[in-house]
Copies of this chain bind each other. A is one copy, B any other.
């Protein structure tokens, strides 16, 4: 993932580590959820985002942003959750184009059922290897690149501003 001597190599390694860690770890965690007969990870994300939103509801496009999912994919993800009765589509009074996704009681129930397993999986596969301080550092560093949609031209020496 990197070439002879490039001042960016350290960063490239971090990038590779990020891709790999996410891929391997989510796979391990997903496998546990599946083994427990629970739905995929992203279902939990949706339920959780709705749960913590005011009124337990969110406009589609907002939900899409929060879980970083394209509109079209969100439509279908919501289809699935709705079919299971975990959330409902509800018209939006102010804007007749829009819809709310609303968490149902069953949805909240499902969320509570999933969390213990999910939490345990995170603990085992991820948290067990990090101290709380390290976890905080990690979270901070990972959040950094997300803020700046796109930095200026970063060129070879990677620290802009």
Contacts and interface: CB of A to CB of B under 8 A. Distances in A.
Nearest to A112: B3
State the copy count for this chain.
2
A15 B127 contact: yes
A159 B151 CA distance: 36
A109 interface: no
Interface stretch (A23-31, A79-87, A96-104): A23-31
Interface in A1-52: 1, 3, 6-8, 10-28, 45, 48
Contacts of A134: 141
Contact of A15 (B8, B27, B122, B143): B122
Give chain A's interface secondary structure class: helix
A16 B66 CA distance: 12
A48 B146 contact: no
A119 B8 contact: yes
Contact of A17 (B13, B128, B139): B139
Interface of A: 1, 3, 6-8, 10-28, 45, 48, 68, 115, 119-120, 122-132, 134-139, 141-148, 150-156, 158-160
